[in-house]
Each structure stands twice: as structure tokens, then as C-alpha cells.
Structure 1
Amino acid sequence: MNRQLGTGFLLALQFFSVIPVKKQLPMEKFHLTLMFAMLPVLGLLFGSVMAASVWLLRETTDVSSLLIGFAVVVIGIALSGGLHLDGLADTADAYFSYQDREKRLEIMGDPRIGAFGTMVLLLAIVGKIIIAAESIHAASLVLVLVIPVLSRIGLMALFSSTSSAKPNGLAAFFQQRTDQRILRLTAMVFMVILLAAVISIANVWVAFVLLVMLLVSLWLYRAWCLKNFGGVTGDLFGAYVEGVEILLWTSLLFFV
């Protein structure tokens, strides 16, 4: 079983990070299900690198919190290869085109970035840097680590509970080859474990705020995807990760 979990994690690295895994891996239904189940573990890896970077900059330099926030955001982008930001830009171009559903999906599939995608991309990056800088000033390193994990738990829940907008898209390809029931159960288990850890290290209030923010944003975003696109796509998944991480950083700023 450990070998199978390792294969799932390596697949997650191949598809959702820039960490090179130069190995031909099996892609049967069981392995792809494990790949998505390993997303929170991948988030834990990313969060650990970010938290370690914050600690190193805090303890060994006199740089400002703004520079630390910049470093955290850049590290996150570098580790994911900008995958989620690409989805955010494509989603913005499609949504703000104000076209019908079919045209929006067509625009989303265009590899070029438009004016709206560029504007949303810049606002998201700059906004995330500022919000992270302000939050890091007061937040513990544990919460810096937790945010990438929570966003990927939400991604797994969104993936396993929402139908694909396109029958031949990447989201449909993976949904047809994964066990959605197992992924929903796995998302709940990871959520319980993570919140228990937050309660033990921080307090119940912090865990409550993070849980509410994640669940409400997941429900609203899922409804928005169904209304405007008829389901989810790979780009919408990327936009979700970026959006929910900004929301969680903001919640640390105002409620923790």
C-alpha cells in the first residue's frame, strides 16, 4: 500500500508541481484516485517550504514583512509552475467576455491571455502579496503552512462533487477515471485531521474561521461555476485555488 501511495504522490508532483519526476507511472483508476487524494499532502509540502522560508527570513534577516510576503507568493508560484494563475487568467477572460456558456468555454480554451485575464492576474498577485505581508506579521508559521493544504482539500472536494463543463476536457478525463466517493471521504478525513491540529496548536476560533471560510467559499464557487459554465474545468480549478488562498490569507488578517 505504501508503494501505491508513493505512486499517487509522484503523479501529483508530475501534474500539479514543477518538481521533476522523470518516471513513467501507471495511470489506472486506482492510481489517479490516489493522485487526487495526495493533493493535501502536496499542499503540506508547499506549505512547509513557505513556512520554512518565512522562519528563515524572520530569524536571519531584517527584511520587511512586505518582502517576506513577496517571497511567500513567489515561492508558491514557482512550486506550482504558475498552473493555478494560468487558470485564473483564462477564467477571467471567459467570464468577463459576457458571452453565452459555449463561447465562454471556447474562450477559456484559448491559450492566449486577454485584457481581463491580465488585469485579474495582476490584481491577484499584487493583492496576495500585500495581504500575505500583513497576515504574516501576526500569523504563526503553522497557519502559513496550513493555507496551501486547505486550498487543496477544497480543490479535492470541488473536483469530486461537481460535474465537468465539457465532456472532453481535462476535468472530465480525470473525473471519469477516479472514484469520487473515495475522494469526498478523503477530503473530510483530511479536514478533520487538519482542524484538530489547528485547534491543538492555535485555538478553536482559528479553526472555526478557517472551516467556515473554506466551506462557504466552496459552496458559492461551485454554484457560480454551475451557473456560468455548466460545471468545472481545469482552469476553474486553478482559479479556485488562487481565490480561496487569497480569502484564507484575508481571514487571518481580519479574524485571527
Structure 2
Amino acid sequence: MLPGLITALRLLSILPIPGRESRHFIDGLPWYPAAGAVLGYLVCGVCLLAHAVAPDWGGLLAVLGLAASIALTRGLHLDGVADCADGFWGGHERRRRLEIMKDSRIGAFGVIALVLVLLGEWTALERMVDVDTIILIPVAFIVSRFGIVLLAHCFEYPRAQGTGAAVVKGATRRHLWQAFGVGLLLSLPAGVAAVPLWGAGIAMTLAVGFLGKWKIGGVSGDVLGAGCVLSEMTLLFAIVLGS
């Protein structure tokens, strides 16, 4: 297996991937959409199994699909959602917001944000009552993971160092276009249905990026995670609304 893909999968999932990682951490960036595809197809498989067992019980599909997503990613990006909510709305100036985001404790804004995001994803999954809709789930994971690369390339890192610094400071235009190409290739099975999903995902990702720039002067590791989760949720809703 390609070292860059191994690096991406080990970072973005709990999957026990054999092999040697790339020599440079940043070499995994072009493969983030591929890691998203692996996660997406696994979650899709769980949802299809739930649909086969109980086709009229959308709640079961939603619970199992959401649980699989959280388990496979160890809730990695959800932490970013909570930290961003606490920092962005818990501090009145940039330095204080960054301090709050580094605090390992979760505040009221973080709890509210997590509840709303999880409820949103559950609601979208619960509405996926037919196979044609369920099989589009991988696109949501592909585009949202591409969004991490997009944010890293388009925005600055707001601290001198910290979590996510290597990704944001090392992301280049080459990484972005390679990730875009990988993502488009992996989205081909979805056909033309993938086109509006890419548009919706990129729009939400950039919205999070500009919010991060406004609140803290750029995108930290937490903002990368929050952008990924919010893009994924947006795409799940877009899949349902477009069905």
C-alpha cells in the first residue's frame, strides 16, 4: 500500500493498517479523500446491513451508521467542533479564544454544538430510507476529508505552533490538486449526483474557514476538524434533500 495512504488512514481512522508510513507526515494530504472513501464505504456497509434487516426502521440505520462513524474515527473531529464552539463564542478577543480552545475541558457551547451536530447527522441518516440514497454516503466522507486539505492550503495557522500546524503550514497547491483529483476519481461511482454534493461540501468548508479567520486569525487543528464534521453533516442533508 502507498505510504501516503497509510499515513492518511492511520491519522484519520482507527483501522489497523499494515505497512510503512510516508517519510514526511505532509505526504499523506493527497490521500485524505481516499481515507474518507474507506471510512464512507464502511459506514455505508453498516447502513445497508441495517436497511436489509429492518428496511422501515430508519432510526436503527441512523444509530448504527452514526456509531460506526464515531467508532471508526474515534471521534477525532468532534473534539474540534466542541473546542471551536467554546473558543469562538466563549472569548471576546482572539488571544482568549485560542486559550479556551487549548483547554481540554468542554464548556456549555461545546456541549450544545456536539448535541446539535450529532442530532443533525442522526436526522439525516434516519431519512435515508432507500438504497439509492444510502450508497451516496461515501461521497460525504470523501468531500469532507478533501475539505481538510482545502482549509489547510487556503488559510494560515493562527499560532506559532500546535496541533495541526504541520498540516496547515505544509499544505501546498500540489497537495490540494492531488487531493482534488483523488476525490473526484473516487466520486465517479456516484455519477452526476456527486456534482452538487461537491459544491455544497466546499461551500460549507470555506464558510468554516472564513469563520476561523474572523475569530482566531486562521485555521487550527480544531478548525480543520470542525470543518470536516460540518461539511459531512451538510452533505448528508444534501443527499437526503436531493433524493
Aligned 8 A contact 1:136 1:144 in 2: no
Question: Cα distance, 1:80 vs. partner?
Answer: 0.6
Q: Report the secondary structure of 1:99's partner residue.
A: coil
Separation in structure 2 between the aligned mates of residue 188 and residue 25 of structure 1, nearest angstrom: 21
Identify the residue that residue 178 of structure 2 maps to in structure 1.
186
Aligned residues: 243
The 3 A distance-change label for structure 1 pair 13 and 82 is same
Identify the residue that residue 102 of structure 1 maps to in structure 2.
95
Matched, 1:226 2:182: no
Alignment of 1:114-133 (within 5 A): 114-133=107-126
Question: Cα distance, 1:62 vs. partner?
Answer: 5.2
Matched, 1:198 2:190: yes
Question: Cα distance, 1:174 vs. partner?
Answer: 3.1
The 3 A distance-change label for structure 1 pair 225 and 209 is same
Matched, 1:10 2:3: no
Identify the residue that residue 240 of structure 1 maps to in structure 2.
227
Separation in structure 2 between the aligned mates of residue 236 and residue 80 of structure 1, nearest angstrom: 16
Q: TM-score, normalised by structure 1?
A: 0.86
The 3 A distance-change label for structure 1 pair 66 and 232 is same
Question: Cα distance, 1:146 vs. partner?
Answer: 1.6
User: In structure 1, which of residues 25, 41, 52 is the aligned counterpart of residue 34 of structure 2?
Assistant: 41
Give structure 2 stretches of 5+ with no counterpart: none
Letter of the structure 1 residue corresponding to residue 64 of structure 2: A
Letter of the structure 2 residue corresponding to residue 238 of structure 1: G
The 3 A distance-change label for structure 1 pair 23 and 210 is closer
Identify the residue that residue 140 of structure 1 maps to in structure 2.
133
The 3 A distance-change label for structure 1 pair 251 and 21 is closer
Matched, 1:216 2:203: yes
Separation in structure 2 between the aligned mates of residue 15 and residue 151 of structure 1, nearest angstrom: 15
Give structure 1 stretches of 5+ with no counterpart: none
Deviates more, 1:156-165 or 1:86-95: 156-165
User: In structure 2, which of residues 49, 63, 67 is the aligned counterpart of residue 74 of structure 1?
Assistant: 67
Aligned 8 A contact 1:40 1:149 in 2: yes
Separation in structure 1 between the aligned mates of residue 5 and residue 181 of structure 2, nearest angstrom: 17
User: In structure 1, which of residues 73, 84, 89 is the aligned counterpart of residue 77 of structure 2?
Assistant: 84
Separation in structure 2 between the aligned mates of residue 146 and residue 211 of structure 1, nearest angstrom: 8
Alignment of 1:18-33 (within 5 A): 18-20=14-16, 25=21, 27-28=23-24, 32-33=25-26
Separation in structure 2 between the aligned mates of residue 187 and residue 10 of structure 1, nearest angstrom: 15
Q: TM-score, normalised by structure 2?
A: 0.90
